[in-house]
Amino acid sequence: MDFTLNEEQQMFGQMFGDFMAKEVAPRAEAIDAEGETPSELLEQAAMQGFLGAILPEDYMGAALDMTSYTLLAEAWGRADLSSATVFHAHMMTAMAILAHGTEDQKATYLEAMAMGEKLGAFALTEPAAGSDPAGMLTEAKPDGSDYLLNGVKSWVTNAGRAGTYVVFARAPEGVTGFIVDADTPGLKVGGREKTLGLRGAEIRALYLDHARVPAANVLGKVGHGLRVALSTMDFAHLSLAALTLGGAEQALDLGVQFASERKQFGVLIAKKQAIQNYLADAKLKIEALRHLIEHASWLAVQGKPYSFEATMAKLYGGQAIYETANTMIQVHGGYGYIVDYPISRLYRDARAMSIIGGSAEIQRVLVARHVLAEAGIEVKP
């Protein structure tokens, strides 16, 4: 297998990096301080085709292959993890509709999402069902040609800003996915969670009180919602891994910059072996993560299963970015603990990446399940 980027992918990578350096990175501090990703930034991203990155041209998408998509996610994560999470949640929703929607559903929703007219939000988690989606309590009761949805969804990124939600609920036949419009009567958005990091991403609860959704908005088949959710999570894991790669690269950049300017005992700290060890270890983690992502995205481009590889990349990515950000705090010394330095923001953002999209603990269960399957041992959480 050859992971060398072709000419088009190299061009995309350069374009993504240029846009993020010019339009996103300079806004990162303000996004964190103000707690909001500016609408004009999302509009600019839509004009570049980023909000429809993986969507076919028929739906005004950019039709990127998975490798090119990971380059985009990496570049956004490197510029600002907070707004990158907004983008990730939107693309996750679009992917669910693209992969499992009917032609009518795709025609109705995807173009508007690609154009930035409607932001997407993916509502799977519940207060009592985080890593166990099969244990969800939200109900979908048939009512004529509609379904009435009742329940609570938690930790929904983009809730309140989204125009299109993918919501999972338990129908009589089993867990089922639904496309729910933001203006659906009975759909209410809760107060915003005050998070430690990723402050530019609006994360809220969703309350469904007899929310009436047409049966035509069932996503996939009735009772097949877990299949829809799990297949979408494969994409989500790879997308998050790419975000963490970018964030880890940014952390290392900040560490190198500081070490190249700060002097102690009359010499640059970059000349101290302890600091060099920190930088070297960070680089090793980054390149190991890059190769996990390249392998998973290569499999996806070849049309092969990539679930296990994406899970490993997501698991390692959450670990790599946190350890790198933590170490670069150490490189900064006392300055790393001052909020005026970007590394402190990145450290807060990085901490979330081993939680969102599936905790590190559940990811390890999934990896262990794969490892032990050949031995005939069944692994359950």
Q: Does 177 share its domain with 306?
A: no
Among 78, 97, 114, the domain-final residue is 114
CATH label of the domain that carries residue 185: 2.40.110.10
Tokens of 358: 């599936």
Residue 186 CA to residue 132 CA, distance in Å, equals 25
The Cα-based distances of 253 to 116, 245, 277, 336 in angstroms read 31, 12, 15, 14
How many domains are contained in the chain?
3
Note whether residue 381 is domain-resident.
Answer: no
Q: Does 274 share its domain with 304?
A: yes
Note whether residue 153 is domain-resident.
Answer: yes
Q: Does 333 share its domain with 231?
A: yes
pTM above 0.75, yes or no: yes
Note whether residue 301 is domain-resident.
Answer: yes
The Cα-based distances of 110 to 33, 117, 240, 263, 273 in angstroms read 32, 10, 21, 53, 52
Half-sphere exposure of residue 65: CA atoms within 13 angstroms, side-chain side: 17
Residue 61 CA to residue 49 CA, distance in Å, equals 6
Note whether residue 159 is domain-resident.
Answer: yes
Chain centroid to Cα 334, Å, comes to 31
Q: Does 284 share its domain with 356?
A: yes
CATH label of the domain that carries residue 54: 1.10.540.10
pLDDT tens per residue across span 78-93? 999 999 999 999 999 9
CATH label of the domain that carries residue 310: 1.20.140.10
Q: Is the pLDDT of residue 374 over 90?
A: no
DSSP 101: -
Note whether residue 12 is domain-resident.
Answer: yes
pLDDT tens per residue across span 160-196? 999 999 999 999 999 999 999 999 999 999 999 999 9
Q: Does 48 share its domain with 85?
A: yes
Average pLDDT over residues 237-241: 98
| pLDDT at site 2 | 82
| pLDDT at site 129 | 83
Average pLDDT over residues 117-122: 98
Q: Are strands 146-157 and 120-123 parallel, antiparallel or unpaired?
A: unpaired
Average pLDDT over residues 231-260: 98
| pLDDT at site 163 | 98
- State which residues form the domain around 360: 227-373
Average pLDDT over residues 102-123: 98
Q: Does 262 share its domain with 301?
A: yes
Beta bridge partners of 188: 207
Measured from the Cβ of residue 99, the count of other Cβ atoms closer than 10 Å reads 16
Q: Does 336 share its domain with 272?
A: yes
Residue 130 CA to residue 152 CA, distance in Å, equals 12
Cβ neighbourhood burial of 265 (10 Å; 0-12, 13-18, 19+):
exposed
